[in-house]
Amino acid sequence: MATTPDFATYLHEYAVVSTAKDARWVDVEWSDGQHTRFHHLWLRDNCPCNECVAEITREQTFEILTVPGELAASTVERSRSGDVVVGWPDGHVSVFDAGWLRAHVYDNGSSSVPDNRTATTKRISWDSSSFDAPPTFDGTAVLTNNDSLYEWLTALQTYGCSRVRGLPDDPDVVGALCGRIGMVRHTNFGVLWDVKSEPDPISNANTSLRLPPHTDLPTREYQPGIQFLHCLVNDATGGDSVLLDGLRIVEILRSESEAHFQTLSTVPWNWANRSKTSDYRYASPVIVLDGNGELAEIRVGNWLRAPLVDAPFDRVEAAYEAYRHIFEITYRPELVVQFRLEPGDCMIFDNRRILHARTEFDPNSGNRFLRGCYSEREEVESRLRVLEREKRAAIAHS
């Protein structure tokens, strides 16, 4: 097995059958009959040898300008151990592990599923007919068992929401739960923050008011990707939890009005989160698309809006019309999953995809105390990849 330029274990599910080259690329034929092409310069750029990749860090030291742009391989062959060996005109030799090569196929015509794309789990949109409460996992299991952790995080990526039950009655356990994934995102609300009705609140969140469907901190350039809300006490009347899928909301909005979809994904709204000692502001469309036109994030927060000043004057009426439309969609019962957090429950959701809300509660009827923290999508993605790496290593060594 050849050296790979990373820390993963590759299962050799497909063997290299033959190799060929022409002026622009190398063609690799696999045991399942597929042919995949790799450009010469791509192969040279990805040489995993110890001259091209630092042995300990597994990070590249090769620099692209040290070879000509028109570089072509001199020789390509399948080694006896099944690797792909490429010889270059200057005598350099690159040996590609077949498992690594297969996992990094980028030939669009091929039907192989590369496992090294940036996002690996497909998102599934949902509404209130999908479930009564978010996909639920056992607290002890996810805190102690990596297979349970993997199942939980996969569901979180797929549906954007989840619930973990049976957590200890410990105000810091939400930090430990986040620590199973990765870093906590610090904000001006603290590392772990309290949600309870307070006499001198810095946000509507710290009152007993209804919180309409929102994402947290649309007021920041980078909205937190993952949010945790752990329930320690919930014996007041009211204060139910609500989740809605932003992905589904945007699908519906677009099917009902392409014009409103265009407006919401181009005209910036103003967001602000001001206190006596801080003044955070950001302007962004409500719907943010990625380079493929897919939903990157949704930004909604009724009490976090500032006066609309960054929209072009002649788009303001259209902006309000589209904004009313998306808000009207969030009121539709068929989209709302409403449930009650019990002590020991934690809901964990993608704060850039899912809208969350709470119904009003009566602070005189009992106590209500949630503790939360933020993390990022990339922490979940990284943890899932490392868990997948461990699974593959276990298979390879069994």
Residue 6 class from Cβ within 10 Å (0-12 exposed, 13-18 middle, 19+ buried)?
A: middle
Beta bridge partners of 37: 27
Distance CA 392, CA 208 (A): 48
Q: Which is nearer to ligand OGA, 158 or 207 (CB)?
A: 207
The number of residues making up the chain comes to 398
State yes or no: residue 47 binds Zn ion (CB under 5 A).
Answer: yes
Contact partner at residue 358 from ligand OGA, Zn ion, none, CB < 5 to 8 Å by partner kind: ligand OGA
Nearest to 101 by CA among 228, 210, 8, 238: 8
CB of 353 to Zn ion, least distance (A): 14
Stretch 193-212: interaction string toward ligand OGA, x if CB under 6 A: --x---------x-----x-
In the chain, the amino acid numbered 110 is S
Q: Which of residues 190-229 bind Zn ion (CB under 5 A)?
A: 216
- Given phi > 0 = left and psi -120 to 50 = alpha, else beta, which region is 244? beta
Contact partner at residue 370 from Zn ion, ligand OGA, none, CB < 5 to 8 Å by partner kind: ligand OGA
CB of 71 to Zn ion, least distance (A): 13
* Residue 197 CA, distance from chain mean position: 31
State yes or no: residue 350 binds Zn ion (CB under 5 A).
Answer: no
State yes or no: residue 337 binds ligand OGA (CB under 6 A).
Answer: no
- The site for ligand OGA, by CB under 6 A, has a size of 9
Beta bridge partners of 297: 288
CB of 246 to ligand OGA, least distance (A): 14
Q: Which of residues 168-197 bind ligand OGA (CB under 6 A)?
A: 195
Tokens of 172: 């810091």
Please spell the DSSP secondary structure of 113-140, one letter per residue: --S-SS--SPP----TTT-SS--EEEHH
Element spanning 86, H or E: strand 84-87
Contact partner at residue 49 from ligand OGA, Zn ion, none, CB < 5 to 8 Å by partner kind: Zn ion
Q: Contact with Zn ion (CB under 5 A): which of 11, 15, 17, 49?
A: 49
Give the number of other Cβ atoms within 10 Å of residue 203's Cβ.
16
Distance CA 277, CA 254 (A): 40
Q: Which of residues 348-377 bind ligand OGA (CB under 6 A)?
A: 356, 358, 370
Contact partner at residue 241 from Zn ion, ligand OGA, none, CB < 5 to 8 Å by partner kind: ligand OGA
Given the rule CB under 5 A, which residues bind Zn ion? 47, 49, 51-52, 216
Given the rule CB under 6 A, which residues bind ligand OGA? 195, 205, 211, 216, 229, 241, 356, 358, 370
